[in-house]
Structure 1
């Protein structure tokens, strides 16, 4: 299970820290807000 995500200097993201709660987490947002960048950072 993914509980924390830290991204630094990836694509347009300087630094980002996300903590996820247990259960289902959903990424939503309008076009161009960075959802795909977060998914690419996992890969």
Structure 2
């Protein structure tokens, strides 16, 4: 189980420390707030390949 997500110096995220509790965690926010960037960082952390371009 993922208990904490820490991101630093990734695209628009200077620093983030996100504790995750048991059960379902939902990430919400306005358009352009960085939800997809956060999920992209999580993908890289779990072994997903970065897109080249």
Q: TM-score, normalised by structure 1?
A: 0.91
- Provide the residue aligned with 2:17 in structure 1: 17
- In structure 1, runs of 5+ residues without a counterpart are none
- The structural deviation recorded for 1:30 is 1.0
Bigger CA radius of gyration: 2
Q: TM-score, normalised by structure 2?
A: 0.76
- The structural deviation recorded for 1:27 is 0.5
> Which structure exhibits the higher relative contact order, with contacts defined as CA atoms closer than 8 Å and separated by 6 or more residues?
1
Q: CA RMSD in A?
A: 0.6
